[in-house]
Structure 1
Amino acid sequence: MTRRMPELPKDELIRLYRAGRSLNSLARDHGVSAPYLTKRFKEWNVPLRDRAQAAKLRR
């Protein structure tokens, strides 16, 4: 039996990520893993932040 992946609110996730939320916190809030959400963002052509960009947001 295959596991069905949850439907994710694409537009909301992208909006929140672009507003500064971390990928890890978004994944946790939606019950998926960070690697799974990273894969979805890449499929949706969402530019991912690198470590330096993420660190600037945390300051």
Structure 2
Amino acid sequence: MAIGTELVGVPTWATVTLSIVVLAGGWFWGASVDYRYNAVVAERAGEMEREAADARPARAEA
């Protein structure tokens, strides 16, 4: 039994269920933030590669 939940009139099952939902929601939110961050980093890496390729002098063919 969760300590203190019955004292305020909240059933233990409701407290446990709400806790699981909150934890799962936080996990999914964190995963989506991580996915968006990785997408931004990958996009910027591609831009940097193109900028570096544009900055290189053209190679003379022998």
Task: Give the TM-score, by structure 1 length.
Answer: 0.32
Greater RCO (Cα-Cα under 8 Å, separation 6 or more): 1
Select the structure that is richer in helix.
2
Larger Rg: 2
